[in-house]
Structure 1
Amino acid sequence: MAVWIQAQQLQGDALHQMQSLYGQHFPIEVRHYLAQWIEGQLWDSVELENPQDELKAKRLLDSLVQELQRKAEHQVGEDGFLLKIKLGHYASQLKSTYDRCPLELVRCIKHILHSEQRLVQEANNAVGSGGGGGTMDSLSQRHQQINQTFEELRVSTQETENELRKLQHNQEYFIIQYQENLRIQAQLSSLSAVPAEERTQRETSLQAKRATVEAWLTREANTLQKYRLDLAEKHQKTLSQLRKQQTLILDEELIQWKRRQQLAGNGGPTEGGLDVLQSWCEKLADLIWQNRQQIRRAEHLTQQLPLPGPMEELLTKLNSDITDIISALVTSTFIIEKQPPQVLKTQTKFAATVRLLVGGKLNVHMNPPQVKAVIVSEQQAKALLKNESTRNDSSGEILNNNCVMEYHRTTGTLSAHFRNMSLKRIKRSDRRGAESVTEEKFTVMFESQFSVGGNELVFHVKTLSLPVVVIVHGSQDNNATATVLWDNAFAEPGRVPFVVPDKVLWPQLCEALDMKYKAEMHSARGLCDDNLVFLAQKAFSSASINQEDYRNMTMSWAQFNRESLPGRNFTFWQWFDGVMELMKKHLKPHWNDGAILGFVNKQQAQDMLMSKPNGTFLLRFSDSEIGGITIAWVAENPNKRLVWNLMPYTTKDFSIRSLADRISDLNHLMFLYPDRPKDEVFSKYYTPPLCIFTTPNPEPSSGNPTYMDQAPSPSVAHPINFAIFPPISDPMMDADGEFDLEDTMDVARHVEELLRRPMLCCLWPSSENLY
């Protein structure tokens, strides 16, 4: 109810906008009397484009009707009687209107609530801090400037309308007087049949009258011509202001929205403000069309009464200018509201939504346009933007690629929802140099034809999606995502499709990686400065890089995801993406809890742990394996204290047993770095024990690294097999103290899992843990 309370305090244009949200489709009285209930419902949980959510919408509709009926029943007294009848009528009206299309009710209420929140927020920003004494932020100032310009345009358009009516009235009177002059001339011509004495008297009177009328006509003709020129000049000023306002909205605000939409593909904030843009575009459409109609009426008046002067040329120029403005508005506001997936797999269903931001203002919906989607290559996209014809219209075949635009009267949106498209085949071009198929970019082009003003103007419109990379197998997803991330992060507005810089500053890349990481983790905890230093050291293969060093360093696309890291068979991005995939699938809660340091190399882990008590451990990402995480801990060796590293765990391992349970199994792990008891951190994720595992206690082997399980530290006698690696030279280990041979890792892991299987499993009356 908080939003509604604030919405009632709106004033001026904001109040008018809020009131205009309501009507027969959803009465404002329903919003008022059910404010608390309406704001308490989960309207955003209903996906409007998902037919399966229609049942949810139906339940919300039924609940709304029941709430209205309940509210009506509780009304008493004379005033209450009238309200009871009114609310009961609204309940029946809403049931009748939306019973067959409950998703439209949800669409309507979501639009109302979002619009109210926007209006309230804009009002609060305008007031600022300190009861109106504070300064507004730049966004609010810009929006206020736009709204103020619209008010000026509304006033100037009304003025030209009044001037046009005055001109029309004066011209009509001029024509009447002109006809009177012709009548006088006709009377003078007919005097030849009148006797001379009478003719002289009447001729003198008629000539005097004619002289008076002709003098008036001369003066009035000059006045009309001045009126016409003044009106044309005012139209020129209005059109100039309209063009500036449209440029501000389309070339700045809309471009910024598209940029936010692009960054959202990398995990940036979900792009908002499209309803605000639509409201502006609708106002532009209204004003432009009103001015166009005025110019055409002025043309008609000029044709009715031709007068010498430059008026005809001026009107022709004005007509041409207003048509250009309409054309730019219609073609630029045909946008992709919901982008197709940027990593597009063949033979897989995908969706997209296109929208015309002028809504129903130009009556485009009266002849519902059909939209067609085709996939085109980078070269074809370049040719299209240069208005060059291409021999082949597409580079592939998309199934279910035609859709009719639908007008939703409750929200005023005109859109086409492609729900079941599928890329059947793709035609690839010749690749350059080291470029792989996952670096080749395509785009989905949506095209349609709009008729404006009852087929008076026809526009052929096209819009291109963000670049997409087409894959045929899931194994290509990793590299395709790298191409998309680089393009989304570093593409510049107005570029030639789909040019991106080959090198970028490392801090710019860090910003993109941090955005992506936070989105994958669904957390505000992103990559800290220490994490970014670690990543720089890995990316540039230098352990001596610090935070200050990498501020001016650049990283090329080849370093990012074409060239393998030294001594590895994977790229920097492949390693980083493997980390995100592991975290997203299995370790997200632990990252958000702060339990995983992750971005720590082996030497750093050793330095951090050596000063801590025995049993202190930390979790770090594996250097040698994609998507691996290892446990490093400090323990007492018979000779000296050592930091031990466990063989990396991967998604495969955590699919068998969770990280928390594995840490619980290892009794020698006692404190999560720096000093938190492990149960305090991980116990809430432990799986409740259902059975007891007993395993034999083999004697420790000698020579090679000891395999231990559930031992407090490597120095405890009678250890059970468990894979740990002391920092000593061993032919089976790599330089990081981790197994580098895939077969060896598989065998070691298999042994570890085998030892965790119950040799004897039974249910015990007590829950005593015999690990």
Structure 2
Amino acid sequence: MAMWIQAQQLQGEALHQMQALYGQHFPIEVRHYLAQWIESQLWDSVDLDNPTEEPKAKRLLDNLVAELQRKAQLQGGEDGFLLKIKLGHYANQFKSTYDRCPLELVRCIKHILHSEQRLVQEATNASSETVGQAMDSLSQRHQQINQAFEELRLATQETENELRKLQHSQEYFIIQYQENLRIQAQLSSLSSLPPAERTQRETTLQTKRATVEAWLAREASTLQKYRLDLSEQHLKTLGLLRKQQTLILDEELIQWKRRQQLAGNGGPHEGGLDVLQSWCEKLADLIWQNRQQIRRCEHLTQQLPLPGPMEELLSKLNSDITDIISALVTSTFIIEKQPPQVLKTQTKFAATVRLLVGGKLNVHMNPPMVKAVIVSEQQAKALLKNESTHSESSGEILNNTCVMEYHQATGTLSAHFRNMSLKRIKRSDRRGAESVTEEKFTVLFESQFSVGGNELVFHVKTLSLPVVVIVHGSQDNNATATVLWDNAFAEPGRVPFIVPDKVLWPQLCEALDMKYKAEMHSSRGLSEDNLVFLAQKAFSSSSNNPEDYNGMTISWAQFNRESLPGRNFTFWQWFDGVVELMKKHLKPHWNDGAILGFVNKQQAQDMLMSKPNGTFLLRFSDSEIGGITIAWVAENPNKPGERLVWNLLPYTTKDFSIRSLADRISDLNHLLFLYPDRPKDEVFAKYYTPPLSKAVDGYVKPQIKQVVPDFANPNSTESTGAAHPFMDQTTSPSVGHPNNFSVFPPMGDAMLDADGDFDLEDTMDVARHVEELLRRPMANQWSSQQS
């Protein structure tokens, strides 16, 4: 319930995002009234990709329904009547909705709880007070780990002390045993003495022998007990070592790897590897100390065999601790810097692997060689199942071997592959509609080294994150989609490289928002309205209610295999085109809040018609990848008194490489206010290109400027040339393409309409016109125009 209490304290956009998690698929009232029960259930224990887990999910569903019915029955009085009816209705609704697919209920609740946790954590990081709380939480976890290490250190020190006592006791026992043998030898030699002397000496020696033998019998029993006690202590220490190692490798290291994977989608860059290394090195040190102690115990047992199970116990301890150190070494051979997940052939790439315990185990004394090979998804599966003893390759990587280097300053042992290149790739047979950009490979790094003077030999392997191999830049878009889907929805410990075929829409929204913010280098991500627009596009829906989409699932095919209705591109291709356009040319304007972007034509018209003439906004083109258009409200030049919303033909990267957005907006004097009411110069003036300098050496540098003929006021500076005296302002009854620069003859086609969509192939090639511009005898032309 603690999380729900924190979630209710969210404010602003975080509160809206939290509310958007709920809807008909899971009403917020259920979350509120069953908060404690919901947070106490083991939702994460259900493997959503395993159909055999369905009975467990069914029990959770039945318990949820029963809890709702119980809660409903507890409601009494006039105020509780409506709530009683509502909770009973929700119980029936859950039963009918999820009875045949209980895993979907678990998936839904897991997503809600994880999203709430993320929102609460982000809100926590936003304030100094709660940042302190987050740090306290982190410190508590680190403190628990450090306390466990201290407990292990004390336990190891105690067994070391006990082992020394045992060794001293055994050494004294051996001395006394030798004394007993000497006495027996003396007794055997008495036969040569006279009878009187022999009797006296024999009596003394037999008394002494009896005393020594009694002591030896008692001491042997004591030594046996010491050995058993010491073995029990080692057994207890090994249990603590396993627990600590599981916490570090199966939780902390796995979380680090998950953060590293999400960083591929734009998540926060993974950190904490040095802390992990320090923990792993402490583990290695403690494990090695205990292993040496166990081996010394074995030596003592061999030196003085005593009846009992010691040999079997020590053999088991030795085997167990060897397994522990093997698991530590093989798990800490990791990829510090992943190779690019979209890997183009014949292109240089880099990667770094690191052995977290290499320095502690002195592996660098004989530096191992690391080899990199690229393997297919099927080969990766076989490797993890130990079905393949040798590394088959699906391609050829140049410069694929590297020696691990020890860096004294940081204490790290790593291999830096700086100049690898994929020379060729061997693809497998594709399945169904799968394209080459959906085929996943992985880079396998492997090495072999020994520790303890060749006492133990390790063959270590580690797989990179999935990579998609392309041969041409045109494949990058679709390959990125495969990588994004895999990074976002891969489960820890999966079989390579299984991902769900469909996910809840809010899960995809989280991934898209992460990607967008990372590419824009901004905290301004996708708002709820933006996500509703994307949902409308993805599902071909007209609903403006975000709750209508929270329970919907989107498949991989809808994401990037099937084209959007009436288009020749997919949902992802359109979204990625927007991201690329914004990243390359419009990032400052997005961060300033000047671009609404995710607005369709009808919404733009409804928004602008209530505003004064000259109000405009910027929205992304629906029909073109990577296009953005200006929509504005103005009177119809051909019908005075009639107001219309106009849309310029979309700009693309090509257009902005010639003239920036800010300068284009500056060119158009009929654009006055950025929606809703901000003067355009207030928003864009800081991005305007400074005026041209005066003529140098008798030459005047020409200037490019755009004009929309029907909206070029003859009395304005745009027409008269007061601001730009060398611009030929020619009006036309038709509306020109935004790339129709004033020095060119106006185009006869009416290329701007109320929709603002167009085909690039039908437009004029701007670069060609610029080239013509530079070849014309402009001075004479300007002279005649000025006169």
TM bucket, shorter chain: 0.7 to 0.9
With over 3 angstroms needed to count, the CA separation of the structure-2 counterparts of 1:155 and 1:607, relative to structure 1, is same
1:737, distance to aligned residue in structure 2 (A): 1.1
Q: Which amino acid aligns with 1:679?
A: D
Give 3-state SS (helix, strand or coil) of 1:589's partner.
Answer: helix
Give 3-state SS (helix, strand or coil) of 2:396's partner.
Answer: strand
* Residue 558 of structure 2: aligned partner: 559
Give 3-state SS (helix, strand or coil) of 1:723's partner.
Answer: coil
* Residue 308 of structure 1: aligned partner: 307
Task: Report if aligned partners of 1:668, 1:710 keep a CA contact under 8 Å in 2.
Answer: no
With over 3 angstroms needed to count, the CA separation of the structure-2 counterparts of 1:185 and 1:698, relative to structure 1, is closer
- Deviation digits for residues 152-198 of structure 1 (CA, Å, limit 9, x no counterpart): 00000000000000000011011111111111111111111111111
Select which of 645, 652, 661 maps to 2:663: 661
The percent of aligned pairs where both chains have the same amino acid is 83
Task: Report if aligned partners of 1:693, 1:759 keep a CA contact under 8 Å in 2.
Answer: no
Give 3-state SS (helix, strand or coil) of 1:459's partner.
Answer: strand
With over 3 angstroms needed to count, the CA separation of the structure-2 counterparts of 1:642 and 1:408, relative to structure 1, is same
TM-score of the pair, normalised by structure 1: 0.77
Task: Report if aligned partners of 1:520, 1:584 keep a CA contact under 8 Å in 2.
Answer: yes
Task: Report if aligned partners of 1:375, 1:444 keep a CA contact under 8 Å in 2.
Answer: yes
Write the distance in 2 (CA, Å) between the matches of 1:698 and 1:307.
102
Give 3-state SS (helix, strand or coil) of 1:373's partner.
Answer: strand
Task: Report if aligned partners of 1:739, 1:745 keep a CA contact under 8 Å in 2.
Answer: no
Task: Report if aligned partners of 1:514, 1:526 keep a CA contact under 8 Å in 2.
Answer: yes
1:744 and 2:762 aligned: yes
Give 3-state SS (helix, strand or coil) of 2:358's partner.
Answer: coil
- Deviation digits for residues 262-281 of structure 1 (CA, Å, limit 9, x no counterpart): 00000000000000000000
Gaps of 5+ in 1: 1-124, 701-705, 765-769
- Deviation digits for residues 685-710 of structure 1 (CA, Å, limit 9, x no counterpart): 1111216879999997xxxxx58589
After superposition, where does 1:585-734 map in structure 2 within 5 Å?
A: 585-637=584-636, 638-690=640-692, 706=710, 719=731, 723=736
After superposition, where does 1:85-124 map in structure 2 within 5 Å?
A: none
- Deviation digits for residues 71-114 of structure 1 (CA, Å, limit 9, x no counterpart): xxxxxxxxxxxxxxxxxxxxxxxxxxxxxxxxxxxxxxxxxxxx
1:750, distance to aligned residue in structure 2 (A): 7.8
1:415 and 2:414 aligned: yes
Write the distance in 1 (CA, Å) between the matches of 2:228 and 2:705.
104
With over 3 angstroms needed to count, the CA separation of the structure-2 counterparts of 1:709 and 1:501, relative to structure 1, is farther
Give 3-state SS (helix, strand or coil) of 1:398's partner.
Answer: strand
Q: Which amino acid aligns with 2:759?
A: L
Task: Report if aligned partners of 1:630, 1:646 keep a CA contact under 8 Å in 2.
Answer: yes
With over 3 angstroms needed to count, the CA separation of the structure-2 counterparts of 1:330 and 1:189, relative to structure 1, is same
With over 3 angstroms needed to count, the CA separation of the structure-2 counterparts of 1:755 and 1:540, relative to structure 1, is farther
* Residue 527 of structure 2: aligned partner: 528
With over 3 angstroms needed to count, the CA separation of the structure-2 counterparts of 1:614 and 1:346, relative to structure 1, is same
Write the distance in 2 (CA, Å) between the matches of 1:583 and 1:709.
31
Q: Which amino acid aligns with 1:719?
A: T
After superposition, where does 1:345-384 map in structure 2 within 5 Å?
A: 345-384=344-383
Write the distance in 1 (CA, Å) between the matches of 2:231 and 2:371.
41
1:740, distance to aligned residue in structure 2 (A): 3.1
Write the distance in 2 (CA, Å) between the matches of 1:380 and 1:697.
57
Give 3-state SS (helix, strand or coil) of 1:470's partner.
Answer: strand
Q: Which amino acid aligns with 1:677?
A: P
With over 3 angstroms needed to count, the CA separation of the structure-2 counterparts of 1:239 and 1:708, relative to structure 1, is same
* Residue 461 of structure 2: aligned partner: 462
With over 3 angstroms needed to count, the CA separation of the structure-2 counterparts of 1:712 and 1:723, relative to structure 1, is farther
* Residue 581 of structure 1: aligned partner: 580
Task: Report if aligned partners of 1:693, 1:757 keep a CA contact under 8 Å in 2.
Answer: no
Task: Report if aligned partners of 1:346, 1:424 keep a CA contact under 8 Å in 2.
Answer: yes
Q: Which amino acid aligns with 1:587?
A: L
- Greater shift, 233-242 or 386-395, is seen at 386-395
Q: Which amino acid aligns with 1:666?
A: L
Task: Report if aligned partners of 1:694, 1:761 keep a CA contact under 8 Å in 2.
Answer: no
Write the distance in 2 (CA, Å) between the matches of 1:669 and 1:390.
69
Write the distance in 2 (CA, Å) between the matches of 1:371 and 1:129.
47
- Deviation digits for residues 288-336 of structure 1 (CA, Å, limit 9, x no counterpart): 0000000000111111111000011000000000100010000000000
Write the distance in 2 (CA, Å) between the matches of 1:536 and 1:131.
34
With over 3 angstroms needed to count, the CA separation of the structure-2 counterparts of 1:666 and 1:219, relative to structure 1, is same
Write the distance in 2 (CA, Å) between the matches of 1:385 and 1:354.
19
With over 3 angstroms needed to count, the CA separation of the structure-2 counterparts of 1:735 and 1:192, relative to structure 1, is farther
Give 3-state SS (helix, strand or coil) of 1:423's partner.
Answer: strand
1:154 and 2:166 aligned: no
Task: Report if aligned partners of 1:636, 1:714 keep a CA contact under 8 Å in 2.
Answer: no
TM-score of the pair, normalised by structure 2: 0.75
Write the distance in 2 (CA, Å) between the matches of 1:402 and 1:693.
55
Give 3-state SS (helix, strand or coil) of 1:618's partner.
Answer: strand
Write the distance in 2 (CA, Å) between the matches of 1:338 and 1:254.
15
Write the distance in 1 (CA, Å) between the matches of 2:129 and 2:193.
89
Write the distance in 2 (CA, Å) between the matches of 1:401 and 1:697.
53
Write the distance in 2 (CA, Å) between the matches of 1:601 and 1:473.
33
Write the distance in 2 (CA, Å) between the matches of 1:467 and 1:445.
10
Number of residue pairs matched?
628
- Deviation digits for residues 610-663 of structure 1 (CA, Å, limit 9, x no counterpart): 111111111111111110100011112213111110110000000100111101
Give 3-state SS (helix, strand or coil) of 1:626's partner.
Answer: coil
After superposition, where does 1:124-135 map in structure 2 within 5 Å?
A: none
- Deviation digits for residues 367-402 of structure 1 (CA, Å, limit 9, x no counterpart): 110000000000000011110127871000000000
With over 3 angstroms needed to count, the CA separation of the structure-2 counterparts of 1:666 and 1:310, relative to structure 1, is same
Give 3-state SS (helix, strand or coil) of 1:285's partner.
Answer: helix
Q: Structure with the greater relative contact order (CA < 8 A, sep ≥ 6): 1 or 2?
A: 2
- Deviation digits for residues 561-617 of structure 1 (CA, Å, limit 9, x no counterpart): 001111111000000000010011111111111111111111111111111111111
Write the distance in 2 (CA, Å) between the matches of 1:160 and 1:433.
62
Write the distance in 1 (CA, Å) between the matches of 2:716 and 2:302.
101
After superposition, where does 1:47-86 map in structure 2 within 5 Å?
A: none
* Residue 497 of structure 1: aligned partner: 496
Give 3-state SS (helix, strand or coil) of 2:350's partner.
Answer: strand
Write the distance in 2 (CA, Å) between the matches of 1:698 and 1:147.
69
* Residue 11 of structure 1: aligned partner: none
- Deviation digits for residues 182-215 of structure 1 (CA, Å, limit 9, x no counterpart): 1111111111111111111111111111111111
* Residue 438 of structure 2: aligned partner: 439
- Greater shift, 524-533 or 683-692, is seen at 683-692
RMSD in angstroms over aligned alpha carbons?
Answer: 3.2
1:331 and 2:330 aligned: yes
* Residue 14 of structure 2: aligned partner: none
Task: Report if aligned partners of 1:620, 1:630 keep a CA contact under 8 Å in 2.
Answer: yes
Q: Which amino acid aligns with 1:563?
A: E
1:739, distance to aligned residue in structure 2 (A): 3.8
Q: Which amino acid aligns with 1:548?
A: E
With over 3 angstroms needed to count, the CA separation of the structure-2 counterparts of 1:697 and 1:144, relative to structure 1, is closer
With over 3 angstroms needed to count, the CA separation of the structure-2 counterparts of 1:269 and 1:205, relative to structure 1, is same
1:544, distance to aligned residue in structure 2 (A): 1.9
1:724, distance to aligned residue in structure 2 (A): 6.9
Q: Which amino acid aligns with 1:643?
A: V
Write the distance in 2 (CA, Å) between the matches of 1:440 and 1:306.
61
Task: Report if aligned partners of 1:288, 1:326 keep a CA contact under 8 Å in 2.
Answer: yes
1:130, distance to aligned residue in structure 2 (A): 12
Write the distance in 2 (CA, Å) between the matches of 1:441 and 1:566.
28
1:744, distance to aligned residue in structure 2 (A): 2.6
After superposition, where does 1:17-56 map in structure 2 within 5 Å?
A: none
Task: Report if aligned partners of 1:243, 1:325 keep a CA contact under 8 Å in 2.
Answer: yes
With over 3 angstroms needed to count, the CA separation of the structure-2 counterparts of 1:131 and 1:487, relative to structure 1, is closer
- Greater shift, 416-425 or 599-608, is seen at 599-608
